[in-house]
Amino acid sequence: EVIQIELLCKQLYESQDQSIRDQAEIAVVRFQESPDTLSKCQALLERSSSSYSQLLAATTLSKLISRSTTSFTVQQRLDIRNYVLNYLATRPKLAHFVVQCIVSENSENAPRTSRFTPVEGF
């Protein structure tokens, strides 16, 4: 399934054909709304060599912890956030745009009363 999602991301970000991009976008939304999104995102982050797939997985996980409609506990949200930040810290060769997205997504989700951004904790 990782290969399928990599192909989907390639179509979404690289295709010159608008109809292919539209179909890929619909599939991405389905991916993000599926009940097993969490495990799929973790598989993508661990096994994918595509920067676009890594970007999709990281942003999807960040959205999962920021949505108020998800059924995750506070601890589960913290665990997901920590997983994403640990992924960032242990992958020094990530594409710059993936790193930038992870940092900005997690900074937006950080408690506003904290004096540190999530990345400063490393």
Q: Which amino acid belongs to residue 26?
A: I
pLDDT tens column, 74-88: 888 888 888 888 988
Q: Indicate the number of domains in the chain.
A: 1
Assess contact for 62 and 83: CB atoms under 8 A: no
For the CA atoms of the chain, what is the radius of gyration?
15
pLDDT tens column, 15-62: 999 999 999 999 999 998 888 999 999 999 999 989 999 999 988 888
pTM beyond 0.85: the answer is: no
pLDDT tens column, 95-106: 998 888 878 765
Q: Which domain holds residue 68?
A: 2-121
Distance CA 87, CA 45 (A): 8
